[in-house]
Structure 1
């Protein structure tokens, strides 16, 4: 036994293991060489806080939020592989993936969970009422049945709402298109956050004398046909914070361009991808805020009593090249204050 222990603590042991593995003589997967596993492994270091981050899918807006969360965690001293285990999982829009990734977090006895987008947060909430859950990019936490109230969530959940400034968005639309008569709403029927925003937006549009024509989709595969149909009926298209549509931004913009109508999205990244303009939220900054709340709860704040945070600020974002392409005259008052993306 003493000889074995001496060998195990030396490079000779690793060499012996490699040789045994090559001849199938050792159960290599269970041999402990004393080397730490990476944060991407399925087991956490018990000495470090385990932070599970569940992102619904991949598109620039959600990617920016996750980046902001991790950057803020690192700024606060929670560095992956050094002072924390940060396990970022991406469900790629598949509910079964979200479920299995959530089970992974629970099996690893996560200390805290972060849900990026409403469906991801809902999956986490359905799985545990004990582990603190931080919301990132959840438009309406009450309608999504995640919290009792914004001021006092009342459960193991708090975080950041990305509720969009609908009135400011439609004031901008009216300023850029003073003669607009009809606007199309395009969003996924399965996303609670989209429905909540669309209900509010329709009231605002109607108050401005704009007729709303709504078409919903069930998956990204529906975007081409639905957008083509909608573009033929309206003067412009508005998109709420909708992850399904966001994954098909290029397709939507291409169809709208073919009909020479603008798209007004709700996030900065979609303007950069070809939308005309928005008064929206900086997704990276939402990630930073989400990271700040995560740190606060890690360090002792009670999520049930920690108020849901709102975005710190909004930005007017303009794609001037798109305006020129569509022959839309942009008032100097907008140019002077907007963030210009060309």
Structure 2
């Protein structure tokens, strides 16, 4: 009887030991799986400025040890300009329990904020006027689960540059996309500065990129120069815009360096890659435990001179020596 009892006790001890080890292994596996966070990145569409922000976000995460495929899983989604895709992709991140999501372009950020509710951290990547877009309470105190970066165009400097390069311009055309909050914000703010400076202007809008050809033709016949603000729709249709304005010998001063590369004349541009990199760094700090609610929005306004020499030649424009020097020493010159 005693032998049976001892045998039973021995078997029980062995069983409990095995169970403890197995439970420990399962817990260890769970712990290990949680060490690799998932970051969802949602981009409105493909074009050089947004692509540069995306590359910057990845670089910023790497700066703090989050290497894609090793120490962080990146779930990158591109809506290709389709608003319905934004909603589906945003919900996908939430359903799959992403630890954090990053929005590139205002519509993408708005969709993520709507899907995330008040739980999943949302990092804004270069969003114009985030408070005016309803994404945060204020730049200083975003509140809730949203923070990130904002790239404010140096609009007064853009107007000064336009007047310096096209001194004979009597009327400036300003074009933006009606569905792009950032584009509308910048366009109307630029128009206000024109009014304050006594510069005559005309506003033109497109509903989407398909409208650009027709609207650009009308605009080119009525103005002496064009201002293209930081606007996703206009940026995507930049080549169409320039093909029309070049025929009319009307220069385009855009807000972003990638738009200069696509045919614009010149700009003072906030570096989109650096903007994305700063967003990636902020995303990394949030992953490490920093609260979003009191993490102030970081705003970049300083621009670098970017020139397009071939475009200037087509239009018969000579860059002033001071402008050319600034671009060569501190900015970018496209041949």
TM class, shorter-chain normalised?
0.7 to 0.9
Q: Distance in 2 between matches of 1:46 and 1:158?
A: 23
2:199 pairs with one of 199, 210, 215: 210
Q: Is the 8 A contact 1:181 1:209 kept in 2?
A: no
Q: Is the 8 A contact 1:180 1:210 kept in 2?
A: no
Equivalent position of 2:224 in the other structure: 235
Matching of residue 96 in structure 1 with residue 84 in structure 2: yes
The structural deviation recorded for 1:312 is 6.8
Q: Between Structure 1 and Structure 2, how many residues are aligned?
A: 298
1:138 pairs with one of 97, 121, 127: 127
Q: Distance in 2 between matches of 1:81 and 1:282?
A: 27
Query: TM (normalized to structure 1)?
Result: 0.85
Equivalent position of 1:262 in the other structure: 251
Equivalent position of 2:14 in the other structure: none
Matching of residue 164 in structure 1 with residue 133 in structure 2: no
Matching of residue 153 in structure 1 with residue 142 in structure 2: yes
2:46 pairs with one of 53, 58, 65: 58
Q: Distance in 2 between matches of 1:284 and 1:331?
A: 28
Matching of residue 320 in structure 1 with residue 303 in structure 2: no
Equivalent position of 1:110 in the other structure: 98
Which runs of no fewer than 5 residues in structure 2 stay unpaired? 1-32
Q: Distance in 1 between matches of 2:168 and 2:192?
A: 18
The structural deviation recorded for 1:146 is 0.6
**Greater C-alpha Rg:** 2
Q: Distance in 2 between matches of 1:96 and 1:275?
A: 31
Instruction: Give RMSD over aligned pairs.
Output: 1.2
Equivalent position of 1:16 in the other structure: none
3-state SS of 1:279 partner = strand
Equivalent position of 1:341 in the other structure: 334
Residue-by-residue CA offset, 1:270-320 (whole Å, 9 max, x unaligned)? 101110011111111111111111111111211110110012741011112
3-state SS of 1:335 partner = helix
The structural deviation recorded for 1:209 is 2.4
Matching of residue 301 in structure 1 with residue 294 in structure 2: no
Q: Is the 8 A contact 2:176 2:205 kept in 1?
A: yes
Query: TM (normalized to structure 2)?
Result: 0.87
Give 1:247-258 correspondences, 5 Å limit. 247-258=236-247
Q: Distance in 2 between matches of 1:179 and 1:236?
A: 9
Q: Is the 8 A contact 2:175 2:187 kept in 1?
A: no
Matching of residue 124 in structure 1 with residue 112 in structure 2: yes
Higher helix share: 2
